[in-house]
Amino acid sequence: MTQIPTTTNPNWWRDAIIYQVYPRSYLDTNGDGIGDLAGITEKLDYIASLGVDIVWLSPFFKSPMRDFGYDIADYCDVDPMFGTLADFDRLVAKAHGLGLKIMIDQVMSHTADSHPWFVESRSNRDNPKSDWYVWADPLPDGNPPNNWLSVFGGSAWQWDTRRKQYYMHNFLVSQPQLNFHNPEVQKAHLAAQRFWLERGVDGVRLDACVFHFHDRQLRSNPPALVRDTSTVTDVNPYGMQAHIYDKTQPENIAFLEQLRAQLDEFGAVSIGEISSDDALAQMNEYMAGGNKLHMAYSFNFLTPVFTAAHIRAQVEDFERRVEEGWASWSVGNHDAIRVMTRWGGPHATAGFAKMVLAMQLSLKGTPCLYQGDELALHEADVPFELLQDPYGITFWPEFKGRDGCRTPMPWQAAAPHAGFTTGKPWLPVEPSHAAAAVDLQDKDPDSMLNFQRRFIALRRTMPQLTRGEIAFIDAPEPVLALRRDLEGERSVLAAFNLSNAEVTFDWPATEATDRLAVDGLAGDARGGRVTLPPFGAWFGLERAEG
C-alpha cells in the first residue's frame, strides 16, 4: 500500500488542528471494557464533525500494557486487545475518505522487557543484540554506574542476574532503554516506521524523543540549579537533577535528520514531545534547518500555572528562541490533569472551557486537542483501589498519576458506562462525565461541543489565525491581549479574561476595529475600552484604511 497524496501545500500541517485519541478509552466494540480500533473507526464521523484535520492515536501496538502501550513488544503489529492490522487498515481508509489524516505514536527510546530484542540482549553478553540496550557494569561496591534517576521513581538502573550487569530504564523497570549509539537500533526503528508509512500513516508523534541517546561515558548528572516542576511534580526527586547526561545528547540530531528524510518520502509530518531542562533550546536544535522535526511541544501549558503573563512568556520565548521551528500548543493530553480542573478548578463551567479553546486556537502554532476536552470534562476522581497507572501508584497520595484524564469517553448519558462499553470498563466512568455526554451536547446549540465546532469553522475562514504573525499587547493581569497580522488581510485583535471576575481595560487600537462576533463568547469594546465578563473574550477586525 502507498500513502495518499498529502496536499499541494507542503506546509499544510501549519494550518491543521490535531485531535488526540487515547484508544483504550474511546469506544469499546467487543465488550471487554477496553477501547479498540473498530471503536475509533466507528467514531471517525464524529471526529470529522469537529473540524479537525489530524487524528493522533496513542499506542495500539503489541504490548504487555504495564505502561498501557508505551511499552512496546512488537513495533509492527496491533495488540489483540485493540484489533488487527486489517482493523487498522480499515481505520486509515475511512479516515482518508473523510479527509482526516492519521498520526501514530512512535515510542523509540525504550521497549517492553518482553520485546524479543531485549529477551535476546539480556540472555548473555555476546549475542547479536547484546549491545542493543544500555548495559553497564556495577561500581566496585556493587552500586549502579551513576546517579541517573527514573522519571517514574527510583534509580534508572536495574540489576540483571543473567548478565550480572545493570540495564538502564528512564521510566518503568520493565521499559529497558535502547542503545541508539548502535546503528542497528536506528535502522530497526526506521524500518518499523517505514512499515506504517507504507500502510498510509500521515504522521508520527515522537514520544520522549529527547531520551534516544545517553552519554557514552555514563557521567553523573549534577544537581539542578532550579528544581524542574514543568515535567514532574515537586514530590518526584527526578526534578532535582540537571539532566544533561541521561538525555538530550547531540547525536540525536543526525538520527532525527534520517527520520525526517524518510518522512519526506511519504509527505508525512512529525511532532516531537520535548521534556528537558531547557525545552526551547532543544526545540531550536531539533527543528533548525527544516530537516528534522516539523513541530514540537513542551509541557509548559500542561502545568497548573494559568496566568496571562505565563502564556504570553511561553509564546514570546518560543518566537524569540526557536528561530526556524513551529510550535504545537497543547493544554491537555493523556499525561496531564484535565485542563478544566488544572486551570479552571473544581467548579469551572463550560464558559471557562470556551474561552480557553478560543485562546488556544488564537495562538501562532498548530493546536493539539485532547479527547473529551470538547465536552469540557473535569478530571475524574479515581480511588486508589481502582488506579491502573503505576506512576500514580508509586507517588500516591500527593500525585495520583494519569488515570484521571484517561477515563472513558461518555457517548450516551443514559446508557450503562455512558455508552463506552457493554462490559466492565478498565477505568470507571466519572459520574459527572455522563451528564456531559456527546448525545446531550450534540443537541444543545450552546454546548461546549457545538461551540468548538463553530469556532474551528470560524478559524478556517481566517488565515490570520493560522499563518499570521503574533504580537501581545500590554494589558493588566488576568487579561491576555494579542493581535494576529497577515499581509493582505485585516489584522485580528483578541482579548481573553482568564478570571471569574469582570475586567475592563484601555486598548486604544480597538477604536479602529469592527467587532467579530463569536457565538458563545461575551465581550465588548467601545471608545478604546474593552470590557470582558468572567472568562469572557472579545475579537475584532481592524478596519481597512480608507
Catalytic site residue from 113, 207, 228, 430: 207
Residue with cell 459520574: 431
Residue 386 burial class via C-beta count within 10 angstroms: exposed 0-12, middle 13-18, buried 19 and up:
exposed
Catalytic site residue from 137, 184, 257, 265: 265
> For the chain, give me the number of helices (H) and strands (E)?
15, 21
- Decide if 234 is catalytic: no
Residue with cell 470560524: 458
Name, in order, each residue with C-beta under 8 angstroms of 99's C-beta and a sequence gap of 6 or more: 48, 53
User: What number of other Cβ atoms are within 10 A of residue 248's Cβ?
Assistant: 25
- Decide if 265 is catalytic: yes
Per the structure block, which three cell numbers stand in for 65? 500494557
Q: What single string gives the DSSP state of each residue in 395-459?
A: HTTT---SGGGSSPP---TTSGGGGS-SS--SSPPPHHHHTT-HHHHHH-TTSHHHHHHHHHHHH
Residue 498 burial class via C-beta count within 10 angstroms: exposed 0-12, middle 13-18, buried 19 and up:
buried
Residue with cell 476536552: 373
Q: Decide: 219 and 146 in contact? Cβ < 8 Å.
A: yes
**506/498 Cα distance (integer angstroms):** 17
Amino acid making up residue 127:
N
Q: Decide: 322 and 287 in contact? Cβ < 8 Å.
A: yes
What is the DSSP code (8-state) at residue 98? T
Beta-bridge partner residues of 110: 177
**For 253, how many CA atoms within 13 A lie in the half-sphere containing its CB?**
13
| Active site residue ranges | 207, 265
